[in-house]
Structure 1
Amino acid sequence: MNRRKIFLVIILCTVLSACTDQKIVNQICLVHAISFDTVAKGKKTAVLISHFKEQGKTDLEVLHTESKSYLSLPRLNTQTNDPLERGQMRMVLFGKTSAEKGIGTVIHHLLRDPKFSSRLQLGVVERDASELLEITTKTQEPFFLSDMIEQNMRNGNLPLMNLHVSLFNYYGEGRDMFLPYFKIGREGAAGSGGHGEVKIDGLALFRSDRMITEISLKDAFLLKMLIQNSKNGSYTVPLAGKASNNTNNQGEDFILLRSMHSKANYMVNNVHLIPSISIRLKLVTELQNVPDWVDVRSEEQLTRLEKTMGSYLKKEIEKFLSRLKENKVDPVGLGDLIRSRSKNWNAQDFEKIYQEIKTTVSVQVKIANTGSG
């Protein structure tokens, strides 16, 4: 009886699999990335596609089209012998000009299309976004850009980002979206392979669907600590006082700290008038590139270093929060924090008082590991 049931299950699975829409990989063009730019006549869309020639060999190509609308994949489909398939798309790029004009139309489309994975990454390019796709063809790595973002989230200063996070920040009340910000260096630079060198230079900060400003990777690290429990990322802290024994050193010494763990706690006071928010940040770190005059075996010096780093990070976070208020952007989600504690929260009213919100910061640093002194 059991054998008969197993046989029926196998037959049923075979029949069902035969009914699915199967597509042979060398008879389709997989779309891996798409870019959107603003041009004189309207909008320019480009896609990075792959042609599978044989096992282990793939050719990358960029297709371009211009129209009055960003959503012009049907136009691009007319340029290929095989149909375009979006199931493997991992990257959506916006030129800076397009991002400043607004990307809401594309965001709405990404939300409605079930073929786009939540792992999809979005990004802004300082120049023409299609340039970045052209550079990717030289690498012959279809996921070059999305892998770069994910590597910098795991090991670097970028906070967690993907389509799911971006949609949450875009549609959520009391918070603003942020995306990785790419720059293209000069051609012929070391390691560029004869084409423009690509690097993530920080984050693009948005208000609603429009890019307002960008921040450096140093400030991206501060944001990362403020919005998630960070287990990676690095930051340089200047050390004043005793000069280094290195006679070539004409300025301050620096310590490079690497986050091992961080946690931020928020306390909201007086939500009914002008709110005030207390932020307590705890950071466990290891030291790298320690100046030779620092004795890492001395408990006294380590305690002094912890206070120095805590004081410096406190000032840097306060400056960072002030800059966010000046630009009226809220990637930290302070508005959402206040909304969760107020029955009468209103987005328009919050925008009017956002710049007046008082934020006090305290940072406690614990050195867990040290480099050699």
Structure 2
Amino acid sequence: MKKLSILLLVLLLTSCSNQEIVDEIQIVNSFGYDYEDGRIKGTILYPLFKYGSTEEPSLISAKAETTFDVPAKLDNKSPLPIADGQLRSLLLGEPFAKRGLQNMISTVSRNPNLGRTMQVAISKGSAHEMLSSVTKKKMSDTQYINKLIEQNIKMESFPRTNFQIFLFNFFAEDRDAFLPYLKSEKNAIKLAGIALFRKYQFVDVLSMKHAFIFKLLDNGSKNGRYMISIKKDQHKGQIALQNLYTKNKYYLKGTKESPEIQIVLKIDGKLQEYPFWINVNDPSNVELISKQLKASIEKESKDVLDHIQKLDVDPLGLKDFIRSRTRHYDHQRIRAIYKDIPVSVRADVTLVQTGINE
């Protein structure tokens, strides 16, 4: 009797679930938004299975007056119901993002089917055109965009980001959001920088040259590659630092009326490549390299901070850090003085290895 009761319970539970048969739905991997001719254009990228496991990326696009109406317009053009539960990337055209994303993000964030690890990115130009380029034979992969972003995050050349992180920064009172910025290049797509937001609007791009430094300031790093120019006497060359571990620490200084922030970067790394005329077994040369690395990282860090403060954007959450350390925090006053808050960076560089010969 007990076994029969358990069996009936299992049957009742399974009968309540909504089932979707793969062959009867249109599985979408990427979604794009553009602003075109005064209307919102939506584009979906989905796999079209032809022979066995053979997959061919295909597109459907449609225009509507609002973000909310776009999915319905796309459904009208699709032979199968559109299923967005496997959505891996959301691509936003630059002109669309510059108009502000509040309405679109408010709509999309309420969709319970979307995974919070989905990647969101800004495309230079049209999102539709960039998704169209994915259908080319050289990039014939409906998950090309999210794989591109995630492998750069994994290789530590880009700050950690996904839909959940973006939403947290986007709606935070004392932070601004940032996203990957993608650019088409012939038949390829490349990661070209960090898209910066001022509240709900895309305003500027931080180049890939500074993306690694931004990552160190944002959430540190466990690995990554950093190159600098070095000179000694009449010699000049390039040195590659393989970053093994970086930890950042923020300190609030000054007064409540005139706050100051100091960021300390503790970097343990090794010299991956260096000119033949540098003898790394000589402690004085290692010290010289450490000093020049320190100077370079501090200068580039200050360049990044000056740039974002001049734009009046706060992707690092500097205002939020001040708030967390200040009693009776005054949002309006800190916002008013944000661009002029002194922020200094100190890099403590330790070369823990210099190669197999050491």
TM-score bucket (shorter structure): over 0.9
In structure 2, the partner of 1:81 is 79
User: Aligned partners of 2:325, 2:292: CA distance in 1, in Å?
Assistant: 34
Q: How do residues 193-342 of structure 1 correspond to structure 2 at under 5 angstroms? A: 196-244=187-235, 252-342=236-326
TM-score (norm 2): 0.93
**Structure 1 portions without partners, runs of 5+:** 188-195, 245-251
CA contact (8 A) 1:26 1:52 kept: no
User: Aligned partners of 1:218, 1:13: CA distance in 2, in Å?
Assistant: 57
Aligned match of 2:63 in 46, 52, 66?
Answer: 66
Alignment of 1:94 with 2:60, yes or no, is no
In the TM superposition, what is the alpha-carbon distance from 1:6 to its structure 2 partner?
5.5
User: Aligned partners of 1:201, 1:81: CA distance in 2, in Å?
Assistant: 36
Alignment of 1:149 with 2:149, yes or no, is yes
User: Aligned partners of 2:182, 2:17: CA distance in 1, in Å?
Assistant: 39
User: Aligned partners of 2:4, 2:279: CA distance in 1, in Å?
Assistant: 73
User: Aligned partners of 2:140, 2:304: CA distance in 1, in Å?
Assistant: 38
User: Aligned partners of 1:372, 1:132: CA distance in 2, in Å?
Assistant: 44
In structure 1, the partner of 2:175 is 175
Aligned match of 2:38 in 41, 48, 57?
Answer: 41
In the TM superposition, what is the alpha-carbon distance from 1:156 to its structure 2 partner?
3.5
Shift of the 230–156 alpha-carbon distance from structure 1 to 2, 3 Å rule, reads closer
In structure 2, the partner of 1:247 is none
SS in 2 for 1:116: coil
User: Aligned partners of 1:56, 1:106: CA distance in 2, in Å?
Assistant: 35
In structure 2, the partner of 1:131 is 129
CA contact (8 A) 1:155 1:232 kept: yes
User: Aligned partners of 2:3, 2:355: CA distance in 1, in Å?
Assistant: 61
User: Aligned partners of 2:44, 2:247: CA distance in 1, in Å?
Assistant: 40
SS in 1 for 2:78: coil
Q: How do residues 349-368 of structure 1 correspond to structure 2 at under 5 angstroms? A: 349-368=333-352
CA contact (8 A) 2:27 2:86 kept: yes
Cα-to-partner distance string for 1:93-134 (whole Å, 9 max, x where unaligned): 111111111111121122211111111111001111111211
Q: Judge which range, 138-147 or 29-38, deviates more.
A: 138-147
Shift of the 207–6 alpha-carbon distance from structure 1 to 2, 3 Å rule, reads farther
Cα-to-partner distance string for 1:168-206 (whole Å, 9 max, x where unaligned): 111122211000000111x3xxxxxxxx32100111010
What residue identity is the alignment partner of 2:145? L
User: Aligned partners of 1:59, 1:17: CA distance in 2, in Å?
Assistant: 34
Cα-to-partner distance string for 1:249-303 (whole Å, 9 max, x where unaligned): xxx4111112211111111123521210111111111222211111122222112
User: Aligned partners of 2:83, 2:15: CA distance in 1, in Å?
Assistant: 20
User: Aligned partners of 1:5, 1:202: CA distance in 2, in Å?
Assistant: 62
Q: Judge which range, 5-14 or 297-306, deviates more.
A: 5-14
* RMSD between superposed Cα atoms in Å: 1.8
CA contact (8 A) 2:156 2:221 kept: no
CA contact (8 A) 2:67 2:107 kept: no
User: Aligned partners of 1:155, 1:43: CA distance in 2, in Å?
Assistant: 35
Shift of the 90–229 alpha-carbon distance from structure 1 to 2, 3 Å rule, reads same
**Structure 2 portions without partners, runs of 5+:** none
In the TM superposition, what is the alpha-carbon distance from 1:14 to its structure 2 partner?
3.9
User: Aligned partners of 1:68, 1:371: CA distance in 2, in Å?
Assistant: 60
Shift of the 242–14 alpha-carbon distance from structure 1 to 2, 3 Å rule, reads farther
SS in 2 for 1:240: strand
Shift of the 24–271 alpha-carbon distance from structure 1 to 2, 3 Å rule, reads farther
SS in 1 for 2:61: strand
User: Aligned partners of 1:369, 1:177: CA distance in 2, in Å?
Assistant: 36
CA contact (8 A) 1:271 1:342 kept: no
How many residues were matched structurally? 354
CA contact (8 A) 1:296 1:372 kept: no
User: Aligned partners of 1:346, 1:110: CA distance in 2, in Å?
Assistant: 32
In the TM superposition, what is the alpha-carbon distance from 1:13 to its structure 2 partner?
2.5
Cα-to-partner distance string for 1:77-108 (whole Å, 9 max, x where unaligned): 01111100010001111111111111111211
